[in-house]
Amino acid sequence: MRKKITTIKTLLLFVFIIISTIHINAQLISSIEIDSLVEKTLKTFDVPGIAVAIVKDGKIIHSKGYGVRSLNTKQKVDENTLFGIASNSKAFTAAALGILVDEGKLKWDDKVTDYIPEFKLYNPYVTEEFTIRDLLTHRSGLGLGAGDLMIFPDSSDFTKKDIIYNLRFLKSVSSFRTKFDYDNLLYIVAGEVIARVTGMSWENFVETKIMQPLNMGSSASSFNRLKNKSNVIDAHAPVNGKVQVIRRDFTEASDPAAGIYSNLTDMCKWIMMQLNNGRYGENLNKKLFSEEVHEEMWTPQTIIPVRTSSSYNTHFSSYGLGWFLSDAKGYKQVTHTGGLAGIVTQVTLIPEMKLGIIVFTNQESGAAFTAITNTIKDSYLGIKGIDRVDEMHERVVKNKTHADKITDDIWKDIDAIQKSGAAKTDFSIYAGTYTDPWFGEVNVSMKSGRLWFDSKRSPRLSGQMQAYKGNTFVVKWNDRSMNADAFVMFELDNTGKASGIKMNAISPSTDFSFDFQDLNFHRKVN
The 10s digit of each residue's pLDDT in 470-513 is 999 999 999 999 999 999 999 999 998 999 999 999 999 999 99
| pLDDT attached to residue 23 | 38
Q: Average pLDDT for residues 263-274, to the nearest whole number? A: 98
DSSP state of 68: B
| pLDDT attached to residue 308 | 79
157-206 pLDDT, tens digit per residue, is 899 999 999 999 999 999 999 999 999 999 999 999 999 999 999 999 99
Whether the Cβ atoms of residue 462 and residue 480 lie closer than 8 Å to each other: no
Q: Where are the domains of the chain?
A: 13-141+176-250+258-382, 400-523
Q: Average pLDDT for residues 441-470, to the nearest whole number? A: 94
Query: Beta strands of 365-520 (E only): which ranges?
Result: 432-436, 440-447, 450-455, 462-469, 472-477, 486-492, 498-505
Instruction: Look over the chain and give the mean of its residue pLDDT values, rounded to a whole number.
Output: 93
Whether the Cβ atoms of residue 492 and residue 498 lie closer than 8 Å to each other: yes
Q: Average pLDDT for residues 433-442, to the nearest whole number? A: 97
| pLDDT attached to residue 327 | 96
Q: Average pLDDT for residues 82-103, to the nearest whole number? A: 98
Angle, alpha carbons 44-506-453 (nearest 5°): 115
| pLDDT attached to residue 515 | 96
Question: Looking at domain 13-141+176-250+258-382, which of 3.30.360.10, 3.30.470.20, 3.40.50.620, 3.40.710.10 is its CATH number?
Answer: 3.40.710.10
CATH topology of domain 400-523: Lipocalin (2.40.128)
Q: For the CA atoms of the chain, what is the radius of gyration? A: 25
Of 360, 340, 363, residue with least CA distance to 71: 363
384-406 pLDDT, tens digit per residue, is 999 999 999 999 999 999 999 99
Which DSSP string corresponds to 441-465? EEEEEEETTEEEEEESSSTT-EEEE
| pLDDT attached to residue 422 | 64
Whether the Cβ atoms of residue 301 and residue 137 lie closer than 8 Å to each other: yes
| pLDDT attached to residue 423 | 65
| pLDDT attached to residue 419 | 81
pLDDT at 2 over 80: no
Q: Average pLDDT for residues 420-430, to the nearest whole number? A: 78
pLDDT band at 133 (very low <50, low <70, confident <90, very high): very high
36-80 pLDDT, tens digit per residue, is 999 999 999 999 999 999 999 999 999 999 999 999 999 999 999
% of the chain surpassing 70 pLDDT = 94
| pLDDT attached to residue 3 | 46
pLDDT at 242 over 60: yes
Tally the residues of the chain.
526
% of the chain surpassing 90 pLDDT = 87
Measure the CA–CA gap between 254 and 86, rounded to whole angstroms.
10
The residues, any chain, with a CB within 8 Å of residue 513's CB and separated by 6 or more, are: 145, 148, 149, 151, 152, 153, 184
Which DSSP string corresponds to 272-293? HHHHTTTEESGGG-EESS-HHH
pLDDT band at 156 (very low <50, low <70, confident <90, very high): confident
